[in-house]
Amino acid sequence: MFEYQNHDMEREISSESGSIVQLVKQKQTNVPMAKKLIPLEVKPVIQSKILDELKVLQELKSPYLVEFYGAYASNEGINICMEYMDGGSMDLVLKKVNRVPENILGKIAESVLMGLYLIRESHDLNHNNLKPSNILVNTKGLIKISDIEVSVDLTKEKFIENLQPKCYYSPEKISGLSSKLNGDVWSLGLSLVEMAIGRYPIPVPSEDEIVNLFQNDPQGLSSRSEDASSIQSMTIFEILEYILNKPPPSLPKSCFSEEFLDFLDTCLRKEPSERGDLKSLLQHRFIQKYKNEPVDTVISWINKIKQSSQLFYI
């Protein structure tokens, strides 16, 4: 058995989002792992229930899912040990480059849909918290999703945290309705728009803003300047109201392919029954267009980003 609890700390990866993520190494095998500590003040009985609910994640093994090794409780909260993804998460990538090129977005969309399809087919699960920080990449060119919400109690504890400072929940979930019918597809659409333009797409960017971005950085590989990542200053309540009442984001034809724009349009329908489902989206022309793009494309893209931000990825 893989003793995930037995590890040495290497370095902290992130402590920005309420939880603390560290790179650790398993003592006997030296296998690198990402350990996420979720600080929780709950009764021991709830803690055991959460650990029990998380066990299902051990059954989910696929090249499209970040592998879950196991979880345990400590005085500080719940510790989750998982596969370490050495290219980081897409929110991290977007702190280093202005935007993600469309061919890479095609590979991301395909991998995310495959991951979502697999958890739905094998365990009747939805992800329920899909966003750029839960889409990770490694230097083998694999793109995987993490943080599938399987614990009702943990979801309850993290609900408010998950809404801030940006919201990827579908309009029906924001309204308190079930988002089981393709709520994840909405979140994928919104995440793809964010990766395509390099900023959270609420409020919806003007065409000029995007055209300028493309003129200044045609390949999408220029390093991001410090101020370019600033988020629009809307409160979370303004963002929720905007998602509920305004048209969903769309992108200009002059900068993106017709296939990508149609894919986004199918994901970002406010009415869930009009949204594409996982199976049909996997057959979509946008996915087919980049399906045969070799894995080397992703490898050289992520390596270029890593090389140009050495200090960041120590």
Contact 28, 18 (CB under 8 A): no
Residue among 81 and 281 whose Cβ is closer to ligand ADP? 81
Place of tokens 């697999």: 118
Q: At its nearest, how many Å lie between ligand ADP and the CB of residue 38? A: 8
Contact 184, 123 (CB under 8 A): no
- Cite the DSSP H helix spans in 32-101: 44-54, 90-93
Contact 87, 300 (CB under 8 A): no
Residue among 134 and 182 whose Cβ is closer to ligand ADP? 134
Position 147 contacts ligand ADP (CB under 6 A): yes
Encoded tokens for 79: 């510790």
How far apart CA 64 and CA 115 sit, in angstroms, is 5
Stretch binding ligand ADP (CB under 6 A), from 56-64, 77-85, 171-179, 237-245: 77-85
Closest CA to 2 of 26, 35, 32, 34: 26
Position 126 contacts ligand ADP (CB under 6 A): no
Position 179 contacts ligand ADP (CB under 6 A): no
Position 80 contacts ligand ADP (CB under 6 A): no
Among 70, 77, 88, 248, interactor with ligand ADP by CB under 6 A: 88
Position 127 contacts ligand ADP (CB under 6 A): no
Q: In what order do the strands lie in the sheet with 143-145?
A: 88-89, 135-137, 143-145
Contact 28, 3 (CB under 8 A): yes
Residue among 129 and 179 whose Cβ is closer to ligand ADP? 129
Q: At its nearest, how many Å lie between ligand ADP and the CB of residue 218? A: 27
Closest CA to 179 of 171, 189, 168: 171
Q: At its nearest, how many Å lie between ligand ADP and the CB of residue 306? A: 13
Among 128, 134, 179, 266, interactor with ligand ADP by CB under 6 A: 134
Among 22, 26, 34, 213, interactor with ligand ADP by CB under 6 A: 34
Q: DSSP state, 250?
A: -
Interface residue list for ligand ADP (CB under 6 A): 13-14, 17, 19, 21, 34, 36, 66, 82-85, 88-89, 91-92, 133-134, 136, 146-147
